[in-house]
Structure 1
């Protein structure tokens, strides 16, 4: 019997699930090796668990999310979170620095109908996670590697170095050294292929902190390149919200 694969969504934009669908040829080959038992983005056909591997996109933003992720964990032999929302709370975790009740009153005509938690948190804050795949959205090559690794019973070969390594491999000129452009590449997890720096833009940190991030050493360079404290906070609190705060000990 083929191993079973399930894909679930919490609070997110669906971009990481679409990355899986965009794998096209790789997905066809994968479909021949596994039974895709639950993937509502692709099919309404659902098979009951337990599942050998579950991929979860999205953050926990409601009490229902928290209850659901516990049920998913219980039904999964292995659980992998995919994308910035599931691994770091996502853009929606900006609510963690604000008054959610005030947002509700400002945005919704009937805020009493909106049920939400005060925070947006990663899946790992609620259940044990076997692997976290970073990115906003994730990289298709890394995704296929992670799925293949878990199905084969080995550790995923996903490098934990910074975007700067990818810039050098791509032959991209360092935007910070050459142009004085603020860039989070030295502290950001690789996986995007240095997309932004290759086109003359600073890295925005889509993949979150790398395993060797030394953010305190980067702060003076960001100041040198024109960012004041408010601009620096905005620069760090984007796709992965508070993830970089941990590197600063906040």
Structure 2
């Protein structure tokens, strides 16, 4: 960054449309959080404190997607107040599960759910933060990995780029010595096109990856989708597995729309 020698850099954590799980990951850092608090002044974090301080901030961590007109205005104010802005989690980086609205009629939803839908101010889509303001780094996951979160915060404190691998979950399976569930059992698995970070948790317990860390930097859905069909998935299954936590991620969105169109 680097920080001003006369003060601790200021950290802010913000919530948009989300479940709060990624903010809780920061609180779950426990002993590491004490070290973070020694190096950073945590100026705004409503999940942890009811006494927020106004900006500017050296680093803002943003959880959640943009789903209302108010969200649009607020993220622009936060961006203007933040020297660096990092999005954390599937909602902030790829619209979250709430981006399922992107494929439906939101007006119909609100008319069914609310007695007075005219009181509801919402957008027709759920979009990632990067669709509205420049983002300095995106940390994937639903929820994010605490080790990767600490790496990101430490990296920005030191003024360097975070060292977060962009390869697929398959690399993590190989490193753990986990037998490939697709090769060994014919289990459909999104591991080849999913960003690493979870430690290959699901394949380690014998089930296929379902893409909670979003697309890796080297996806090839043209070659990959036929493998899902070979392992027993039909069009509806493929669309459903691509439209989960990272629904609005460009690669997942494009592949799922192609399945529907065909």
Instruction: Name the residue aligned to 2:32.
Output: 26
RMSD of aligned C-alpha atoms?
1.1
**Do the aligned partners of 1:214 and 1:247 also contact (CA within 8 Å) in 2?**
no
Q: Which residue of 2 aligns with 1:44?
A: 50
Query: What is the aligned partner in structure 1 of residue 62 from structure 2?
Result: 56
Q: Which residue of structure 1 aligns with residue 118 of structure 2?
A: 112
CA contact (8 A) 1:21 1:27 kept: yes
Conserved? CA contact 1:213–1:247, under 8 Å: no
Alignment correspondent of 2:176: 170
Alignment of 1:56-95 (within 5 A): 56-95=62-101
Structure 2, unpaired ranges of 5+: 1-6
Aligned to 1:159: 165
Retained in 1: the 8 A contact 2:65–2:128? yes
- What residue number does 1:223 align with? 229
Q: 1:248 to 1:212 in 2, by over 3 A?
A: farther
Task: Tell me if structure 1 keeps the 8 A contact 2:96–2:245.
Answer: yes
How many residue pairs align between the two structures?
250
Task: Say if 1:99 and 1:248 are closer, same or farther in 2 by CA, change over 3 A.
Answer: closer
Ranges in structure 1 where 5+ consecutive residues have no aligned partner:
none
C-alpha separation between the residues in 2 aligned to 1:9 and 1:127? 15
**1:134-193: CA deviation from partner (whole Å, max 9, x where unpaired):** 000000000000010011100000000000001111111111001111100000000000
Match of 1:139 in 2: 145
C-alpha distance in structure 1 between counterparts of 2:16 and 2:115, whole Å? 24
Residues in 2 aligned to 1:238 and 1:136: alpha-carbon distance in whole angstroms = 10
Partner Cα separation in structure 1 for residue 257 and residue 222 of structure 2: 10
Alignment of 1:198-237 (within 5 A): 198-237=204-243
What are the Cα deviations for residues 78-115 of structure 1, in whole angstroms up to 9, with x where unaligned? 00000000000000000000000111111122212211
Whole-angstrom distance in 2 between the partners of 1:198 and 1:215: 24
| 8 Å Cα contact 1:83/1:135 also seen in 2 | yes
TM-score, normalised by the number of residues in structure 1:
0.98
Shift in Å, 1:18:
0.3
**Deviation for aligned residue 1:212:** 0.9
CA shift in 2, pair 1:179/1:245, >3 Å: same
Distance 1:161 1:248 in 2: 21
1-side partners of 2:152 and 2:98: how far apart? 25
> What displacement does 1:45 show?
1.4
Tell me if structure 2 keeps the 8 A contact 1:3–1:34: yes
Please give the alpha-carbon distance, in whole angstroms, between the structure 2 residues aligned to 1:141 and 1:134: 12
